[in-house]
């Protein structure tokens, strides 16, 4: 199947007809927006790796840059991506690269460049002029696949194109790099995974590669890449975006978490909800490990950086084997020191500031990822998956489940004496500071929406108090009650799979109130970054070879001056 010139033009026009050479809007101070992101080098200890593993990391970074280019095409259009270099304003160019487009991901996807209107809900996965009615009439079984794009043919009719066809010019080079990686890899588990992943990229069938990745236990390095998350498809919540993480295992911290894996089935049974919402028992081959991330690309690199991974997303794999939970320790530490701690010092009651701790943040994030695998994957009275049932509402509710059920697990383990390094007050107060960090992502981002709903629920149950000087303090007793009440509501919402009810609740309760909005302005005024942009690549890792010039290789994000020292 060949992509015609018309299909390519449709892909470009689906995002916008404006040109990137236009100047940014005068009413946006883009230099200040750029400063909302702190710059930090992304480093890790590579001393225990072999020379072959060093070479694999280099190849993985090269592949990651190709994943990055595909992601640009998916969310902004290939031609628009090229024209980033035509922008004369350095701050406008910088901010477009941070956001992978003309829309501010941390400000409800508002356009910040002239000539761009509202962000297409379907990104570049669907034609911008396509109606839902037209899509529903399309008679093609693959239209709902996570691995197809919708385009118009020469006659203007909708057609379905598999990813491996739509992006084959990129994937051809990926195949070459993977062949090289497979030839030098001396870890049997990693080599098998790379072979299966290569097959998956060329067939859009990821099941076998997901299974082989689940079995990969002994490798010092990991490489998560391909089309994975569906956050960018705000139209149907189906289409997946390309991304890549290059990871190095942190053995010391992984060993600390290993003992929790056998406890996960019991955690499912203890969830504070009715029995029918926790009857599915996830696979028992799950693991929890800690890594240092050495490279981000694509979806995970857009604006707010991912600090933990819970994959695969395939519900079949969940039930058969479970999931792998990868905690990205160096990225967590960067966010905690640069963002969380300053927010706590500004916004948390002075009598509770000492309870905001990295170990509490680490555990809350860690068991957030564990909680993604709990609850139910299928609607309780239907064979339909929760993802299918909730459509574009799924991502926010799934993040809400992971947040609150993760905290419930931490609470349970602390009270059983399994987690000794932090107290329950540490976990609660750090969670409160985390809410104030994450609501800044905005209601148009899944994690932001989830945290706004959680904040509003907790506030309505008086789980925390706000003093006259704008500082928040947790009420320990009411926090426990609110935690369990919110967990029960979220688990029921997913298990019932009622799209209209989920949408109605989110629209009503996923809104930032006036007081919180003013508090967020105070955080912004204090100069606390909203997130991080990393210096990354060969030079930073001291692997040899120059760091790529982003204006020559658009996949790389050029970095800015640090906001905080």
328 backbone dihedrals φ, ψ, rounded to 5°: -100, 85
The verdict on whether omega for the bond into residue 506 sits within 30 degrees of 0, i.e. cis, is: no
pLDDT of residue 560: 29
Q: CA torsion angle for 56, 62, 64, 69 (degrees, to 10)? A: -170
User: In the predicted model, what is the mean pLDDT of residues 151-172?
Assistant: 97
Stretch among 178-187, 401-410, 547-556 having the lowest mean pLDDT? 547-556
Residue whose pair of structure tokens reads 């990295």 in the numeric block: 358
Which pLDDT band holds residue 28 (cuts at 50, 70, 90)?
low
* Residue 489 C-alpha from the chain's centroid: 23
pLDDT of residue 284: 59
| pLDDT one-digit tens code per residue, 129-150 | 999 999 999 999 999 999 999 9
* Residues ≥6 apart with Cβ < 8 Å to 413: 260, 263, 367, 419
Residue whose pair of structure tokens reads 């005024």 in the numeric block: 525
- CB distance 113 to 22 below 8 Å: yes
pLDDT of residue 552: 36
For the chain, what is the mean pLDDT? Answer: 88
**The pairing of beta strand 531-535 with beta strand 472-474:** unpaired
Residue closest to 231 by CA, chosen among 60, 442, 62, 37: 442
Q: Directed axis angle between helix 358-372 and helix 394-415, to 10°?
A: 120
Q: How far apart are CA 459 and CA 476, in angstroms?
A: 13
Return the bridge partners of 158, or none.
152
Give yes or no for residue 563 having a pLDDT over 60. no
What does each C-alpha distance from 379 to 86, 401, 484 come to in angstroms?
Answer: 49, 15, 21
DSSP 545: S
- 110-127 residues labelled b (16+ CB within 10 A) or e (exposed): bbbbebbeebbbbbbbbb
pTM strictly above 0.95 = no
User: In the predicted model, what is the mean pLDDT of residues 515-525?
Assistant: 94
Q: How far apart are CA 307 and CA 222, in angstroms?
A: 15
Count of CB atoms situated within 10 Å of the CB of 218: 10
Residue closest to 564 by CA, chosen among 336, 376, 354: 336
DSSP 527: T
End-to-end Cα, the chain, rounded Å: 53
| pLDDT one-digit tens code per residue, 433-480 | 999 999 988 877 888 899 999 999 999 999 999 999 999 999 999 999
Return the bridge partners of 172, or none.
none
pLDDT of residue 522: 94
User: In the predicted model, what is the mean pLDDT of residues 26-33?
Assistant: 74
- CB distance 65 to 548 below 8 Å: yes
User: In the predicted model, what is the mean pLDDT of residues 401-406?
Assistant: 95
- Full DSSP string of 149-170: EEEE-TTS-EEEEEHHHHTHHH
Angle at 198 between CA 283 and CA 15, to 5 degrees: 95
Give yes or no for residue 39 having a pLDDT over 70. yes
User: In the predicted model, what is the mean pLDDT of residues 262-276?
Assistant: 90
Give yes or no for residue 14 having a pLDDT over 60. no
| pLDDT one-digit tens code per residue, 357-395 | 999 999 998 898 888 888 998 999 888 899 999 999 999
User: In the predicted model, what is the mean pLDDT of residues 187-198?
Assistant: 98
Residue whose pair of structure tokens reads 């303090």 in the numeric block: 473
Question: Which residue blocks in 185-233 are alpha helix, DSSP H?
Answer: 188-201, 207-214
């Amino acid at each position: 199947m060949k992509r015609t010139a018309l299909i390519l033009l449709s892909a470009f026009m689906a995002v916008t007809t404006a040109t990137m050479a236009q100047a940014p809007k005068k009413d946006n101070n883009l230099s200040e927006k750029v400063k909302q992101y702190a710059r930090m080098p992304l480093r890790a200890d590579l001393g225990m790796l072999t020379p072959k593993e060093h070479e694999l990391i280099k190849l993985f970074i090269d592949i990651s840059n190709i994943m990055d280019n595909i992601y640009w095409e998916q969310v902004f259009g290939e031609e628009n991506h090229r024209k980033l270099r035509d922008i004369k304003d350095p701050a406008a160019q910088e901010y477009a690269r941070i956001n992978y487009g003309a829309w501010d991901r941390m400000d409800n996807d508002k356009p910040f460049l002239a000539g761009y209107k509202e962000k297409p809900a379907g990104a570049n996965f669907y034609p911008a002029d396509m109606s839902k009615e037209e899509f529903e009439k399309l008679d093609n079984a693959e239209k709902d696949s996570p691995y197809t794009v919708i385009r118009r043919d020469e006659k203007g009719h909708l057609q379905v194109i598999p990813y491996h066809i739509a992006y084959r010019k990129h994937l051809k080079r990926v195949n070459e790099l993977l062949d090289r990686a497979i030839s030098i890899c001396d870890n049997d588990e990693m080599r098998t995974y790379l072979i299966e992943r290569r097959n998956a990229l060329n067939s859009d069938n990821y099941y076998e590669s997901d299974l082989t990745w689940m079995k990969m236990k002994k490798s010092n390095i990991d490489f998560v890449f391909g089309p994975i998350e569906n956050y960018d498809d705000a139209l149907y919540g189906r289409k997946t975006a390309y991304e890549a993480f290059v990871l190095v295992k942190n053995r010391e911290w992984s060993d600390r978490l290993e003992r929790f894996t056998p406890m996960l089935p019991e955690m499912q049974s203890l969830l504070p909800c009715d029995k029918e919402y926790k009857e599915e028992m996830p696979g028992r081959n799950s693991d929890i490990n800690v890594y240092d991330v050495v490279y981000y690309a694509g979806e995970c690199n857009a604006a707010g950086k991912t600090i933990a991974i819970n994959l695969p997303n395939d519900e079949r794999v969940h039930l058969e084997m479970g999931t792998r939970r990868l905690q990205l320790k160096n990225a967590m530490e960067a966010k905690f020191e640069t963002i969380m701690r300053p927010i706590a010092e500004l916004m948390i009651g002075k009598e509770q500031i000492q309870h905001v701790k990295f170990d509490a943040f680490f555990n809350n994030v860690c068991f957030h990822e564990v909680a993604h695998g709990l609850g139910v994957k299928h609607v309780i009275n239907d064979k339909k998956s929760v993802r299918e049932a909730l459509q574009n509402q799924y991502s926010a509710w799934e993040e809400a489940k992971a947040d609150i059920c993760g905290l419930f697990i931490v609470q349970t383990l602390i009270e059983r004496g399994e987690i000794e390094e932090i107290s329950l007050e540490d976990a609660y107060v750090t969670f409160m500071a985390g809410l104030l960090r994450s609501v800044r992502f905005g209601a148009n981002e899944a994690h932001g929406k989830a945290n706004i709903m959680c904040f509003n629920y907790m506030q309505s149950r008086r789980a925390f108090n706000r003093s006259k000087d704008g500082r928040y303090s947790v009420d320990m007793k009411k926090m426990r009650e609110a935690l369990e009440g919110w967990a029960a509501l979220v688990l029921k919402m997913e298990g019932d799979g009622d799209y209209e009810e989920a949408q109605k609740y989110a629209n009503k309760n996923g809104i930032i109130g006036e007081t919180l909005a003013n508090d967020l302005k105070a955080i912004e005024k204090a100069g606390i970054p909203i997130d991080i942009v990393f210096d990354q690549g060969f030079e930073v890792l001291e692997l040899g070879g120059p760091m790529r010039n982003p204006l020559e290789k658009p996949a790389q994000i050029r970095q800015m001056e640090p906001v905080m020292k």
